[in-house]
Chain A
């Protein structure tokens, strides 16, 4: 019987070794994917045993996200609270009991939970967790200026739209407002999410969870003339003094493309003007001819230098940011479209920002910043510092740039043209006594006649730029950029420049 006994013993050992192998599979190989499962009830609790880091604004006095401590079954649990409610809600995001996350709460989760790998960090975390201590996450110090953020959101009110303000040299984002907004504390409450989904704003279809500043795609209208002018000037095709004749329309493919209407419904006619004057008064026929002259390819090439066709870098989740560029609708979805054949795009309409061009407010703030920054595109950022629970700085953001888009001279010419817009053109509503503001209005047509997307893109002071701002307000009946968006930009500029 001994031979059979030996075989039975080997068989038993094989069975037990299989168990060791299976345990190894689940605890080493598959551990990560198990942890990532949405229904993982253990991770749901584990996340609450970690005191997530605080998220504060610039100056640390305003706290966007904090924790409420609660003792349960001998465990200290930390629940997320958002004391500022709707302030910068889409940027901060949320982190809920059901493990849904958005905004910086999602993208910076590793830092906030202290899971970012770093030897000293790992060691401290291990010490914390041994003996049942609390693991403390790292705090985020944002570049956002809470006071001005509040002002921007108040200015937008219940209107749908967005405001982005940033330092044109460093890329530090001072304001990132998206309206309508929501209270992130609601997300975890029973029925709260449904309540958030019901928020519509004045535009009637405002999805409050959407960060319009980074993923709202809007027709740029005349603000795109900055890009067209940059392409024309930087390539040497035209100068600010290049002459044009404006008959009130431009002829494309044998059809008349009229200038923008005045509120009294008649197209303006300017006659003999320079390119600079065409820019100042935002004359579509002038830019239509510029577009026809320099072509779609050149315009798009310059747009790309400003950052178009790429998702702008920022610390928020990549899914919450959109690239700007031409879009086409395929199967009810809009897809970024980089046409192989530039002739398929109407150069005249593209030149004054209609066509199928769609941009985000963040991208337009980057365009204004680039002009203000002498032609170099700054790299936008929101997180100034990551600070450990012991106060040590774990990460300090160094300003960077995304390369040069235009020559310094082109930037200077554009600045002069933008100054004239505010001094005596379409953007006079943005004038600030004692400070030169450089800006460009935009009034983009929508599918509904006389309902516009109002834009204002600017920076100030023009001779020593400190702040660049982009403002967009959706669905404004007879609302022009200069009348609707410029006053908001002005208020934000004044607050940031302390004027």
Chain B
């Protein structure tokens, strides 16, 4: 079977699963929603069929797992978002349409040779900083939930940081490919542009209080530097700097101290200072409320989950229990309704995507492709770890989206760029291996 026929078969499996998901939400909530919801599944399948056809035309040799996994993840997200609130699901559906469009355009535009991107590396580097800087601009920047991540233009809201991540990975892949030997020797002059752009990115992230992204960028940078230079000492130095930096940030920013306290001691038996009200309250009723209720949601799921559409997310009077449930905390919602079986399966899907991504990187013939695929893949996996690990109290919680599943346009679009990038690299690598002209 050819790559694309296999992809089609997997897509049909993902399509059936989407249908089952929407059907179970519909059965559980038929008093509230119409059978029209089932058309979501059909529409969704049709959308991915279009993406498949574009891939068939542009990247016939690309890895056949990536697109179906992305389809499955967006479907899981869309089903849960739909279950939590049909209005958001409609918007998310639109974003997925735009995402597929972006995916198709990227494949079409770069199908000849994506490696020409290398020539614009500094443009990507500066572009990343510019994108990250946008929320700080007066007039269009907006502060949401303690961090300035949003840009508001007209009626449209987006998080430029998500796209900045892709931009930075392209810059790093190109720069590291070119300078990897000299960097490994440790000549300070060659580090200049790298440190300027990367340092700039980190500074902007701290200025915007976007700790989740700061951690993600740091991780991606370190991973790509390690892959490019093979110098473990760099990793150790960077980890040391990370620790020093963490302590400094912990000392300097009350915002960070609060996160760490919530992480280590989410429950108190006595009343403590509550930064929201200025009074005192049990920490679980105040600062760590979101984390703690999210754990309750996960715990309530137990082994088999409550079932899609039958979980509990609102109080008796109809207020949502966990804020940001369909964005940062969507994993808590999924874990409650799908249970340990479903949540583990979801994590396995991320794992398969990551392993396919690294396989693409391994098979790629040139340094830029390898680094690009590795950066995109590791970013995807590490972002999953940061948000889910934060929710599960493995690490302190920092708000960031769950790739392809969380509600949010910028996140969906940036992850379709990741998908397009991996498929482009994979197509060239597989074509070269099979002796065909890419």
Binding site for B on A (CB under 8 A): 1-6, 8-9, 12-13, 15-20, 22-28, 30-31, 34-35, 37, 39-46, 48-49, 72-75, 77, 97, 129-132
* Contacts A15-B381, A19-B394, A39-B292; A27 near B362 (Cβ below 8 A): no
B82 at the interface (CB under 8 A from A): no
Q: Would you list which residues of chain B between 288 and 345 have a CB under 8 Å from chain A? A: 292-293, 295-303, 306-307, 309-310, 312-318, 321, 335-336, 339-340, 343-344
Bitwise interface map of B from 224 to 251 toward A, beta carbon under 8 Å scored 1, else 0: 0011101000000000000000000000
How far is it, in angstroms, between the C-alpha of A35 and the C-alpha of B388 when the chains are bound? Answer: 21
A-B pairs with beta carbons under 8 Å apart, 5 shown: A12-B378, A19-B392, A39-B284, A41-B296, A72-B316
Q: State whether the Cβ of B122 lies closer than 8 Å to any Cβ in chain A.
A: no
Residues in B with CB closer than 8 Å to A24 are 340, 344
* Contact assessment for A22 and B293 in the assembled complex, using a CB-CB cutoff below 8 Å: no
- Beyond the given A13-B354, A37-B292, please list 16 additional residue pairs across the A-B interface where CB-CB is below 8 A: A1-B370, A4-B226, A4-B227, A16-B354, A23-B340, A23-B344, A27-B340, A35-B299, A37-B284, A41-B293, A41-B315, A42-B336, A45-B321, A73-B314, A129-B307, A132-B31
B window 387-423: CB within 8 A of A: 388-389, 392-394
A contact patch SS: helix
Given contacts A18-B394, A22-B393, contact A27 B297 (CB under 8 A): no
Quote the shortest CB–CB distance from B421 to chain A (angstroms).
16
Over the window 328-368 of chain B, the binary record of Cβ atoms lying under 8 Å from chain A Cβ atoms (1 yes, 0 no) is 00000001100110011001101100110010011000010
Q: Which of B260-302 contact A (CB under 8 A)?
A: 267, 282, 284-285, 292-293, 295-302
The reply to whether B350 and A16 contact each other, CB–CB distance below 8 Å, is yes
B interface bracket (residues with beta carbon within 8 Å of A) = 35 or more
CA distance A97 to B316 in the complex (A): 9
**Cβ of B284: which chain A residues have Cβ within 8 Å of it?**
37, 39
Pick from B292, B297, B300, B321 the residue with the most CB of A within 10 Å: B300
Q: Are A22 and B351 in contact (CB under 8 A)?
A: no
Q: Separation in Å of the B85 CB from the closest CB of chain A? A: 11
User: Least Cβ distance of B158 to chain A in Å?
Assistant: 28
In the bound assembly, the distance between CA atoms of A34 and B31 in angstroms comes to: 31
Task: For B344, list chain A residues within 8 Å (CB).
Answer: 20, 23-24
The answer to whether A28 touches B340 (Cβ under 8 A) is: yes
Q: Is the CB of A5 within 8 A of B392?
A: no
Known A-B contacts A19-B384, A27-B302, A43-B300; the reply to A5 vs B361 at CB < 8 A is yes
Contact indicator A49/B340 (Cβ below 8 Å)? no
Contact B381 A31 (CB under 8 A): no
Cα–Cα, bound, A22→B344 (Å): 10
A16 to B384, CA, bound (A): 8
Q: Decide if B296 touches A74 in the complex (CB within 8 Å).
A: no
Given contacts A9-B358, A12-B381, A18-B389, is CB(A23)–CB(B298) below 8 Å? yes
A49 touches B350 (CB 8 A): no
> Known interface pairs A16-B385, A39-B285. Does A2 touch B335 (Cβ–Cβ under 8 Å)?
no
Residue B175 is within 8 A (CB to CB) of chain A in the complex: no
The distance in angstroms between the C-alpha atoms of A132 and B284, with both chains bound, is 30
Question: A131 touches which one: B27, B336, B361 (CB < 8 A)?
Answer: B27
Check A13–B394 contact: CB distance below 8 A. Answer: no
Q: How far is the CA of A169 from the CA of B354 in the complex (A)?
A: 72
How many angstroms from the CA of A72 to the CA of B317 in the assembled complex?
7
Does B374 reach chain A (CB closer than 8 Å)? yes
Q: Which of B226, B228, B296, B392 contacts A23 (CB 8 A)?
A: B392
Docked pose: A132 CA to B306 CA in angstroms = 10
In the bound complex, what is the Cα–Cα distance between A254 and B29 (angstroms)?
Answer: 84
Nearest B residue to A30 via CB reads B299
The distance from the CB of A100 to the nearest CB of chain B, in whole angstroms, is 15
Q: Is B203 an interface residue (CB 8 A)?
A: no
Minimum C-beta distance from A189 to chain B (A): 15
**Smallest CB separation, B184 vs chain A (Å):** 12
Which residues of B are interface residues toward A (Cβ below 8 A)? 27-29, 31-32, 223, 226-228, 230, 267, 282, 284-285, 292-293, 295-303, 306-307, 309-310, 312-318, 321, 335-336, 339-340, 343-344, 347-348, 350-351, 354-355, 358, 361-362, 367, 370-371, 374, 377-378, 381-382, 384-385, 388-389, 392-394
Q: Check if A26 sits within 8 Å of B295, measured CB to CB.
A: yes
B298 to nearest A CB, angstroms? 5
Across the interface, do A39 and B354 meet the contact criterion of CB distance under 8 Å?
A: no
B315 contacts A44, C-beta separation under 8 Å: yes
Pairwise interchain contact B358-A8, C-beta atoms closer than 8 A:
yes
Assess whether B362 is in contact with A6, with CB atoms less than 8 Å apart. yes
Q: Which residues of A contact B374 (CB under 8 A)?
A: 5, 8
Closest Cβ of chain B to A113, distance in Å, is 15
Given the interface contacts A72-B318, A132-B29, does A8 sit within 8 Å of B299 by beta carbon? no
Question: Complex Cα distance A9/B378, Å?
Answer: 8
For residue B367, give the distance in angstroms from its CB to the closest CB of chain A. 7
CA distance A281 to B374 in the complex (A): 98
Residues of B within 8 A of A49 (CB): 312
Distance (whole angstroms) from the CB of B302 to the closest CB of chain A: 5
Closest to A13 in B: B351
Contact between B358 and A34, CB atoms less than 8 A apart: no
- The reply to whether B296 and A34 form a contact with Cβ atoms under 8 Å apart is yes
- A309–B267 Cα distance when bound, in Å, is 38
Q: Tell whether A20 pairs with B347 under 8 Å between CB atoms, given A8-B378, A129-B307.
A: yes
Task: List chain B residues, Cβ under 8 A from A44.
Answer: 315-316
B358: contacting residue among A5, A42, A72, CB under 8 A = A5
Q: Are B310 and A1 in contact (CB under 8 A)?
A: no
Contact A22/B223 with A6-B362, A13-B351, A13-B355 known, Cβ cut-off 8 Å: no
A24 to B341, CA, bound (A): 9
Give CA–CA (A294, B388) in the complex, Å.
Answer: 73
Chain B residues with CB under 8 A of A22 = 389, 392-394
Query: What residues of A have a CB within 8 angstroms of the CB of B223 in the complex?
Result: 8
Nearest neighbor of B307 in chain A, beta-carbon distance: A130
Minimum distance in angstroms from B377 CB to a CB of chain A: 8
Q: Which of B226, B312, B317, B394 contacts A46 (CB 8 A)?
A: B312
Contact of A45 among B316, B361, B377 (CB under 8 A): B316
| Chain B residues with CB below 8 A from A1, complex form | 227-228, 230, 367, 370-371
Q: Check if A5 sits within 8 Å of B362, measured CB to CB.
A: yes
Q: Smallest distance from the beta carbon of B124 to chain A beta carbons, Å?
A: 21
9 closest A-B pairs by CB? A34-B299, A22-B392, A9-B358, A27-B340, A74-B32, A12-B381, A15-B385, A31-B299, A4-B227
- Complexed CA–CA distance, A23 and B348 (Å): 12
In this complex, which of A1, A18, A44 has the most chain B Cβ atoms within 10 angstroms of its Cβ?
A: A1
Nearest CB in chain B: distance from A131 CB, A: 6
**Residues of the B chain whose Cβ atoms lie less than 8 Å from the Cβ of A12:** 354, 358, 377-378, 381-382
List chain A residues, Cβ under 8 A from B297.
Answer: 42
Query: How close is B192's CB to chain A, nearest CB, in angstroms?
Result: 23
Question: In angstroms, how far is the closest chain B Cβ from the Cβ of A339?
Answer: 37
CA distance A40 to B295 in the complex (A): 9
Bound complex: CA of A199 vs CA of B29, how far in Å? 46
- Determine the chain A residues whose CB is within 8 A of the CB of B362 once the complex forms: 2, 5-6
Q: For residue B139, give the distance in angstroms from its CB to the closest CB of chain A.
A: 38
Per the bound structure, the CA–CA distance linking A498 and B394 in Å amounts to 68
Could you say which residues of chain B place their CB within 8 Å of the CB of A6?
A: 358, 362
B331 smallest CB distance to A (angstroms): 9
Q: A9 near B296 (CB under 8 angstroms)?
A: no
Chain A contacts for B381, CB-based, 8 A: 12, 15-16
Closest-by-CB residue of B relative to A76 is: B31
* A residues less than 8 Å from B228 (CB atoms): 1
Q: With A24-B340, A72-B318 in contact, is A42–B296 under 8 Å at CB?
A: yes
Measured in the bound complex, the distance between the Cα atoms of B321 and A344 in whole Å is 60
Query: Is the CB–CB distance between B316 and A26 below 8 Å?
Result: no
Q: Which A residues lie within 8 Å of B31 (CB)?
A: 74, 132
Quick check: A132 and B309 within 8 Å, CB to CB?
Answer: yes
Complex: chain B residue closest to A29, CB-CB:
B299
B295 touches A131 (CB 8 A): no
Can you name the residue of chain A whose Cβ is closest to the Cβ of B349?
A16
User: Which residues of the partner chain A approach B378 to less than 8 Å between Cβ atoms?
Assistant: 8, 12
